[in-house]
Amino acid sequence: MTGAAYHWQMTAVGAPMSHRDFELAPPAAGEVTLEVAGCGVCHTDLGFLYDGVRTNHPLPLTLGHEISGRVVAAGAQAESWLGQAAIVSAVIPCGTCDLCQRGKATICRNQKMPGNDIAGGFASHVTAPMQGLCAVDEARLDAAGLTLADVSVVADAVTTPYQAVLQAGVAPGSLAVVIGAGGVGGYAVQIAAAFGAAVVAIDIDDDKLATMAENGAALILNAGQIGGRDLKKAIAAFAKDRGLPATEWFIFECSGTAVGQQTAFGLLVHGATLCVVGFTMDKVELRLSNLMAFHARALGNWGCPPDLYPGALDLVLDGKIRLAPFVERHPLDDINKIFQAAHAHELKRRAILVPSAA
């Protein structure tokens, strides 16, 4: 497929993104071109545009790494994808290097991230390697009351905490603590609950906490009202009342804030697993010896390998992860207005930008 297409490009830090037309080129071997159904606005995109987080690809660059769409052109070896509805992985490993072959795709040195290494999804069309695709069953999508645009946020917002929960080893009877109950953290709550954990959601926003009380959280705590040792005591009391472990808590830091990271570290117990899911440029001062004293572990969490996407998508399509209450669709042409609103924390739901042709 060739022809006219358009994208919104970042040209400089802090500058409004620019609408530009471009000519679609046929995808190379092993690649596909998708007509974009929707692309979610992520905290990482805001970091690129407003905070000066450097992109790997020089500017101008089309941002956006939470992409869903339909394959409208396919290169050699990728023809079987033609016409397929799909989600594009937020981080696409090469699939062939030693790290990928040893099951360490998240640290593949040849990985490509849409909206960072290659052109992203704030566009009418996007081209991506076929190994980064996750097929979407449209019959199940319809049955779940979702659109193809809605499941764009499965890339990153859902799969990132999914990998974190899976990697940590959350199991039935576990106690999971999620710090930052909006966005990625809201899905972390639901995923940990789906894995059988009793989940404590911590935030400073009562509205977000109330929403999570209806979506998987067994206990909600406002860190603006209770903090420090009292916060840890409240969780310990909850664990005791529920017959949950006093040790080996799973702590997921999803707020991407310095205070959230400090709070998470302060909740370490013996044998705890601390999962750093959110990102911030801010630095924090911690006593790392606590990891030694508690025989605890800290895990990073970069993206999610494409082979784990179907499991995360199944949870969505089976209704174990709810998307509809947490997303809202907006026209792609409103991108600058939506980015400003997201940056000002004016949006209550994750924005999904939908091209006019989608």
Residues 80 and 146 in one domain: yes
Residues 120 and 238 in one domain: no
d(CA 107, CA 87): 21
Tabulate helix, strand, coil % of the chain (nearest 5). Answer: 35, 25, 40
Residues 184 and 265 in one domain: yes
d(CA 352, CA 147): 11
Residues 152 and 84 in one domain: yes
CA angle, 205 then 211 then 213, to 5°: 100
Residues 8 and 77 in one domain: yes
Residues 252 and 294 in one domain: yes
* pTM for the model: 0.95
Residues 21 and 111 in one domain: yes
Residues 183 and 233 in one domain: yes
pLDDT at 252: 98
Residues 121 and 70 in one domain: yes
- Domain's final residue, options 258, 275, 300: 300
Task: Give the CATH number for residue 334.
Answer: 3.90.180.10
Task: Give the CATH number for residue 230.
Answer: 3.40.50.720
The residue type at 7: H
Residues 216 and 191 in one domain: yes
Tally of domains in the chain: 2
pLDDT at 4: 82
Torsion of CA 344, 277, 251, 182, to 10 degrees: 30
- CA atoms within a 13 Å half-sphere pointing along the CA-CB vector of 117: 14
Domain boundaries, position 148:
3-156+304-354
Reading the chain (358 residues) residue by residue, the pLDDT tens digits are 666 899 999 999 999 999 999 999 999 999 999 999 999 999 899 999 999 999 999 999 999 999 999 999 999 999 999 999 999 999 999 999 999 999 999 999 999 999 999 999 999 999 999 999 999 999 999 999 999 999 999 999 999 999 999 999 999 999 999 999 988 999 999 999 999 999 999 999 999 999 999 999 999 999 999 988 999 999 999 999 999 999 999 999 999 999 999 999 999 999 999 999 998 889 999 999 999 999 999 999 998 999 999 999 999 999 999 999 999 999 999 999 999 999 999 998 999 999 985 4
pLDDT at 357: 58
**Secondary structure letter of residue 15 according to DSSP:** S
Residues 23 and 104 in one domain: yes
Torsion of CA 49, 281, 202, 313, to 10 degrees: 60
- Domain's final residue, options 273, 300, 327: 300
Residues 310 and 225 in one domain: no
Alpha-carbon 320 to chain mean position: 17
